[in-house]
Amino acid sequence: MLLEREATMRRQKRFEARARAAKLRHDAQIENADFRAARGLDRNIFMALAGCDWIRKHHGLLVTGPAGVGKSWLACALGHQACREDFSAAYHRVPRLFAALALARGDGRYGRILKSLARTDLLILDDWGPEKLNDDQRRDLLEIIEDRYERRSTIVTSQVPVDRWWEIIANSTLADAILDRLVHNAYRIDLTGESMRKQRPPIVPENTEA
């Protein structure tokens, strides 16, 4: 019993360390996923993804849908589960990642950041689009995706449907190269419905009267 308890504690500590390193935007748990029909999230597909076999096989996942339908939350829930399954994970909002890479070009950290992104078992690229990419951003994205293609797994979330991602990249040659790698062997979740933020109850101020 003592050895089993110690092993459980070690696993929990490893999980906690991986979860901290992942810097997930939401403390999301797969068991709290919302499977209401109007949302378009298939329970069987999502729970199969929660098993993490797609990460073991180095497949990808593309999550699209309007603002507020829970794309980031679902991505973080899968990232959290990946950490539990002994995978490393990293969360990045795409605009901030591009900004960080632009700064890294000038201070010598660019290659180091790309290597770190390439090593992560599950990379979450959240909130891509709708702004068109500039030339540096297109090349950054190609470097990231090329390094990870069929070696690691990547989740991309976007308000823009996948069939319009070519427009965001705005360069036919690089768009073909990027999308061929992103879409190949990738699962798809297309969410629908109204923003879940609108469904939250309003915050009622506390009565401060004596």
Listed by start position, the domains of the chain span 20-195
Neighbouring residues of 90: CB distance < 8 A, sequence distance ≥ 6: 21, 22, 23, 116, 117, 120, 122, 123, 124
Task: Measure the CA–CA gap between 109 and 27, rounded to whole angstroms.
Answer: 29
Fill in the DSSP letter of residue 124.
Answer: E
Q: What is the pLDDT of residues 162-186, one digit of tens each?
A: 999 999 999 999 999 999 999 999 9
3-state secondary structure of 36: coil
Is residue 8 very low, low, confident or very high in pLDDT (cuts 50, 70, 90)? confident
pLDDT in tens, 90-137: 999 999 999 999 999 999 999 999 999 999 999 999 999 999 999 999
Do 15 and 83 touch, CB atoms closer than 8 A?
Answer: yes
CA angle 126, 130, 136 (to 5 degrees): 80
> What is the pLDDT averaged over residues 47-74?
96
The answer as to CATH 2.60.40.650 being correct for domain 20-195 is no
